[in-house]
Structure 1
Amino acid sequence: MKRFEEVINIVGPFGRNQKLQFVLLCIVAGCAAFYQMGNTIYSASADHYCKVYDNQTYVDQSPLKNCTIPYSLEGGAVSWDKCRRYDVNVSQGISDEVCSSQKNETLSCDRGWVYDKTWYENTVVYEYNLVCSNDWMKQLSKSFVPLGNLVGAFTFGQLSDYFGRRPIFIITMMMAMTTAIATSFAPNYPMFVIGQFFLGAFPHSLFVTAFVIIMEIIGLEYRTMCGTVIHIVFSLTYMLFGGIAFLSHGNWRQIQLIVGVIYVLYIPTFFVICETPMWLMRKHRYDDAKKVLKKFAKVNKTTLPDDIFEQDKEAFLKSKEKVIQVKPRRYTVLDLFKSPRLRRNTLLMCFNWFSCSFLYYGISLNTDQLGSNPYMTFTLAGFVEIPGCFIAWWLMKNIGRRWSFSGFAVVGGIALMLSIPPKKSIVELSIFFAMISKLCIGAVFTIAFVYAAEIYPTVVRNGGMGFSSLSARLGSITSPFIVLLDVIWGPLPLVVMGMTSVVAGLFALLLPETRNVSLPETLEDGETLGTKYYKKRETDTEERNDITPARRPSFEYKMLAQADHPSDAAVPMM
């Protein structure tokens, strides 16, 4: 059976057709940043205090505030109560007599709150009063995005391996667009939270599917570059979202509607993005794979032999004749755990993704020290990831995936542990280490996507990527709760997160190196990846295709080979 690397080199490993699809996929997938980071703005809060009459506006210092809001002195500074007010009646105006009455009695904010709208015109917090006793609702809405990531990545990863990459690409993009627009008109808080769940599920699954499509339409030597560029586009879109939020003055409904309508512009991509020939080949749909490859060849000005898949088709038909009632195999994530090396690689990769997300949200806990302008802080957090992506690109190309991942994870973890200095007077040092850690985690995520796509075989690649992404979402959901450890020791949360990253970096050294190695296509390929047997299959195609039973490795391949190669089902296996 021909391997994808042999076929793609005939039509061009990165010709004009693939370049066009690559650019479009990067733009569409990059917009996932709008939804992944959106709740940072949507649920943003600001200074607030109790409202005492209708149409009251926020004023930092005023006689009315002095009269109605309790305060205390902390370190020489005035601290105003945000959740209670004095039980005074100011409907007839303010006077010393009115303000001095009932000063010892306070009420909860029964009339609502007034908010400082210097930076945000309208957020979910303002609109639904998610403060004081309702503050947990704000945190809940933020947790629904990674929860949606978790469910969507696993579900659509499986569906993509069953039905193909292109249908899932179209479905997730259309659903992301529809859900974003609908959520901008959410009539109440529950509908907003439901919308955030689906905006976590669809755009993230769209990003993962687009990434897999890119990896499956290009040649080996372009994987590192393309895998890095898509993450750079994500970071640029991350920064763009800060600009959109600023121009909308933090009005969450306007922002949500804008990022939903943007996807309308991408509907024509449906006519350009094709099913990946690698997936079609693994499904033995040779005629369909040939049609796609002919499109590549036509645009790339190359020639595809008419008999490119004749031997493969004949071998497949013969296998169906020899083996009675062979049913087409449908692969699931469970297949990743049925052989020892593939199982080990999957578990290590999942832990690495968990640590990436765990550390990322840990760093986010320190970004509030960067300045008073929330839009500038938000944009800077996206910008600092771009240098990390470029460095990761160079290291992956020249050193490899394994050592690059390990180095960035270890350095990022150590930098995070150093981000809280012993003295408050050197807060700049804390910011410096926090940004070093953010740079490293941006690089780690870039490497993790490329690395995972190169370790999981084609038949379960999207499912494997989805399972890894599920593990990452567990990290992002768990991270906020680790903050509670600060009651034991202030720096303990960052120490736990930093050590997790260091351990993940060391575990990464147990994974096989995939630099300049062709993508594994079958479960057998995934099991032998990194072994001498796999290298032998790469260097000698003819010998690989005509391999005899006696030369197969002696470990558990009978089940794997029968599942991946129906033509081998009638051949006795060792």
Structure 2
Amino acid sequence: MGDPTPLLSQPNNTSDTKTSPNKHLHSLGFTIEKCIGELNWSQFFQALLISFAWIFDAQQTFITVFTDEVPSWHCTGENIDILNGCYSTPSFNDVCKFPKGSWAWDGPPQASIISEWAMQCESSIITGLPASMFFMGCLVGGLFLSTLADSSSLGRKNMLFFSTLLMALSSFFTTFSPNIWIFSLLKFLSGFGRATIGTSSLVLASELVGKRWRGKISVIGFFCFTIGFLSLPAMAYANKTSSWRNLYLWTSIPTIFYCMLVKIFVQESPRWLLLKGKEEEAIATLKYITSITQSNLNLSINNMSSHEEENNLNVDLFYALKLLLQKKWSSRRLLLIMALGFGIGVVYYGMPLGLGNLSFNLYLSVTFNALSEIPSSLVTFFFIDKFKRRIALFVFCIISGVLSIMSTIEGELWSKMQIGFELISFFSACTSFSIYLIYTTELFPTCVRNSALSMARLAVVFGGAFSPLLVGAGRGNKFLCYGVFGLAIGFSGVFGVFLPETKGRVLCDTMDEEENKDKISCEILV
């Protein structure tokens, strides 16, 4: 609901500013908070449309689980043994020992890139190249695109649009790949574009609502990610008798249409617009998403002088990142949150990729993992405002680590329980990841929030980049896969204990406001 207090109205007298120099600085954040504090249908529609980007993000992140899988095969003829060139009950490692005529794929060759391009005898480095290139693209994209939404004139909306469009187009052209090298290059471009989709979506959605709804609105994105993840095994199963190219076609075309909707209907963050000095656009956005009228918006350009530093972010592309590292408190937070994200990323991206190492049906195991994100999102949605961020992160990271290690225990009874341990561990990792993203948006002010969240997600992706190597090593020794997963996330949870608590706190807009928040809180109480 709108608030009758004029937006960015001037102080009554100069003595107020002299008495409390922070009051003028903080009028922007508090006034915007009053304007957008109550959730209405327009804000909900905006947040929902923005969060849909997570569906396509999830599909491209985990699509290689099916398109790059190692197909099953069988011996041709009846009762063929080693003397005739093929075992009656072969394993995949045997396929390169036999002549071509003694075995055949169970399904059509075009069902996987491995069978279509005859890569069954290639090294794990070659067969894992597309997945590795995707994560490399995420790393490079996260590094070079992380500050654009803060430091350039693009903003949150345009970054979401262009990132999603790049991912969609590269995925679409993947369907025409003639070989593994072109395929890997397009996977790199897809990862490059995908790098900032979740970041821009989460930041934009959280900045369009007040603190009361910030946590719950953010969870919508996690639900959408689950939907995207869950859609993959269904599409892959329906596509198992046809080409892997269809999966990229089915996921890329809807993404292109979604980009059009973003361009037409999504509004830019009013916080970012005001910090960039775009007062008229900010007013138009506030009028669109709230019930505020023009008479309530007494805008003064002089009031933007306190944000002159942030308005000059256009000068240097990496100014926001430099600003993060210049301040001792912000650089410390950034390092701690990235250390925490690395361990979460190893498990979050690694466990779905390592499901082939478990003695369980691949389609069912991926489906169960995707389904486990639903209760994770529900726990986050209903309890995000009830528990402290850093304590919750620590607890869920420890639970995930312990159960991941337990899933490596061998034995007839333990082997049957492996999938259960893995699911609970993945559920805890998903919950940790959800809280981690929300927590990061609350730790940093608007002027650097997108950059900080991008670096945090970059750490998660960096952890995920190690996952394919661990999964490959885990084929011979499960502890090198799930055991290392557990140690990584368990130790990373400790770093969150050293970060400040943000539960119930109003979002800050400037570095000075964030740095002096304790002093401000005392002034408000007085």
Q: Please indicate the TM-score interval, normalised by the length of the shorter structure.
A: 0.7 to 0.9
Match for residue 131 of structure 1?
A: 120
In the superposition, relative to structure 1, how do residues 263 and 365 fare at CA in structure 2: closer, same or farther (>3 Å)? closer
Match of 1:533 among 507, 519, 524: 519
Match of 1:114 among 104, 114, 119: 104
Check conservation: 2:344, 2:432, Cα contact below 8 A: yes
Could you say what secondary structure the match of 1:435 adopts?
Answer: helix
State the Cα deviation string for residues 440-497 of structure 1 (Å, max 9, x = none). Answer: 0110111111111111221111111111121112111123334677799863554433
Whether contact under 8 Å (2:132, 2:468) holds in the other structure is no
1:207 is displaced (CA, Å) by 2.3
- Number of matched pairs: 492
**CA distance in 2: counterparts of 1:484 and 1:79, whole angstroms:** 16
User: Which residue is equivalent to 1:242?
Assistant: 233
- Identity in percent: 21
Aligned partner of 1:232 among 216, 223, 230: 223
TM-score, with length taken from structure 1: 0.79
Q: For the residues of structure 1 that align with 2:377 and 2:182, how far apart are their CA atoms?
A: 36
> SS where residue 114 of structure 1 aligns?
strand
| 1:281 alignment partner in structure 2 | 274
Amino acid at match of 1:82: V
Change (3 A) 1:138 1:78: closer
Query: Which one of the candidate residues 133, 136, 142 is aligned to 1:147?
Result: 136
Partner SS, residue 142 of structure 1:
helix
Offset of residue 84 of structure 1: 2.3
Query: What SS does the corresponding residue of 1:132 show, helix, strand or coil?
Result: coil
Q: Is the 8 A contact 2:219 2:377 kept in 1?
A: yes
Q: CA deviation at 1:67?
A: 6.4
What residue is the counterpart of 2:43 in the other structure?
18
Secondary structure of the equivalent of 2:509? coil
User: Which of residues 302, 309, 312 in structure 2 aligns to 1:314?
Assistant: 302
Q: Mean Cα displacement is larger for which, 156-165 or 340-349?
A: 156-165
How far apart are 1:154 and its partner, in Å?
Answer: 2.5
Which residue of 1 is the match for residue 55 of structure 2?
30
Among candidates 331, 335, 357, match of residue 343 of structure 1 = 331
For 1:367, the aligned partner's letter is L
Q: Flag the 1:175–1:492 CA change in 2: closer, same or farther, 3 A.
A: closer
The CA distance in 2 between the partners of 1:349 and 1:253, in whole Å, is 38
Distance of 1:515 and 1:256 partners within structure 2: 40
1:40 partner letter: V
Contact 2:54–2:225 under 8 Å retained in 1:
yes
Instruction: Report the AA paired with residue 223 of structure 1.
Output: R
Higher share of residues assigned helix: 2
| Aligned mates of 2:212, 2:297 — CA distance in 1 | 26
The residue correspondences of 1:488-503 to structure 2 (distance < 5 A) are 491=479, 493-503=481-491
Q: Is the 8 A contact 2:216 2:381 kept in 1?
A: yes
Q: Does 1:293 align with 2:282?
A: no
1:275–1:14 Cα change, 3 Å: same
Supply the AA of the counterpart residue of 2:58: A
**Selected match of 1:401 from 389, 396, 413:** 389
Cross-structure match for 1:82: 95
Q: Choose from 223, 248, 251 the match for 1:256.
A: 248
Cα contact 1:341–1:528 (8 A) shared by 2: no
Structure 1 residue 7, shift from structure 2 partner: 1.8
Q: Give the TM-score of the pair, scaled to structure 2.
A: 0.85
After superposition, the Cα gap between the structure-2 partners of 1:68 and 1:527, relative to the gap in structure 1 and judged at 3 Å, is farther
Alignment correspondent of 1:106? none
Q: Hey, what's the Cα distance between the residues in 2 that align with 1:494 and 1:260?
A: 32
In the TM superposition, what is the alpha-carbon distance from 1:240 to its structure 2 partner? 1.0
Distance 1:488 1:420, change over 3 A: closer
- SS of corresponding position for 2:507: coil
Give the residue type in structure 2 aligned to 1:278.
R
Distance 1:448 1:350 in 2: 10
* Equivalent residue number for residue 69 of structure 1: 85
- Residue by residue over 1:39-59, the C-alpha shift from the partner in whole angstroms, topping out at 9 and shown as x without a partner, is 1111011234xxxxxxxxx65
Task: Please name the residue that 1:160 is paired with.
Answer: 149
Per-residue CA deviations over 1:87-132 (Å, capped at 9, x if unaligned) read xxxxxxxxxxxxxxxxxxxxxx6x89732218x8521111111212
SS of the residue corresponding to residue 397 of structure 1 reads coil
**Which structure 2 segments of 5+ residues have no match?**
1-24
Following TM superposition, by how much is the alpha carbon of 1:373 offset from its aligned partner in structure 2, in angstroms? 3.7
Looking at CA atoms only, which structure, 1 or 2, has the larger radius of gyration?
1
1:251 counterpart letter in structure 2: S
